Structure 1
């Protein structure tokens, strides 16, 4: 676990130095959700979360930086759906389930 925490701290430093300042310029951000078995899960937030180029051009640049800086990471996964959006969908589904059972 200490190794994962060390990698996460170093990855956060990379994000703060090289990635987040560019995203902040577009009112966006990035969060490291988890690092497990050589796989890092990232979540784009702010205006970047809904932007198609955030996952294509920007996402590829982020992926390249992480893979170059951390040889122990083999895969970078961008989780596109924010927890807020998932919760909104759950609320809508609950309302429609309730309406159908009356």
Structure 2
């Protein structure tokens, strides 16, 4: 059975996003390839020291229970572009 991104989004909506929203965050699916799901945390969950625990204990748990064929869930970590822009302004004495 092929897993669709819509199916994954449905599980995230039902089982994961409410918990993340309670902390001011969300999760975005970056892609699914070779049974490996890539996700990125956003909002206050982005860059949180507990992000890896959130991925392992919440996202991976729920997704792997719903879709046993998914082999791994990788947390893609990026610095928020707005934060980088603000840092540049501070360094250039524009703020």
Per the normalisation by structure 1, the TM-score is 0.72
Structure 1 residues 42 and 19: CA distance shift in structure 2, 3 A: same
Deviation of 1:83 after TM superposition, in Å, equals 5.9
1:33-62 deviation line (CA, Å, top 9, x unaligned): 000011000000000002111222x21121
Higher normalized contact order (CA 8 Å, seq sep 6+, divided by chain length): 2
Structure 1 residues 59 and 21: CA distance shift in structure 2, 3 A: same
RMSD of Structure 2 on Structure 1 (CA) = 2.2
Per the normalisation by structure 2, the TM-score is 0.77
Identify the structure with the greater helix proportion: 1
Match of 1:36 in 2: 33
The answer on whether the counterparts of 1:31 and 1:44 sit within 8 Å (CA) in structure 2 is yes
Deviation of 1:82 after TM superposition, in Å, equals 4.2
* Runs of 5+ consecutive residues of structure 2 not aligned to the other structure: 89-95
Is residue 67 from structure 1 mapped to residue 51 from structure 2 by the alignment? no
The answer on whether the counterparts of 2:23 and 2:45 sit within 8 Å (CA) in structure 1 is yes
Between the two proteins, the alignment pairs up a number of residues equal to: 85
Match of 1:88 in 2: 84
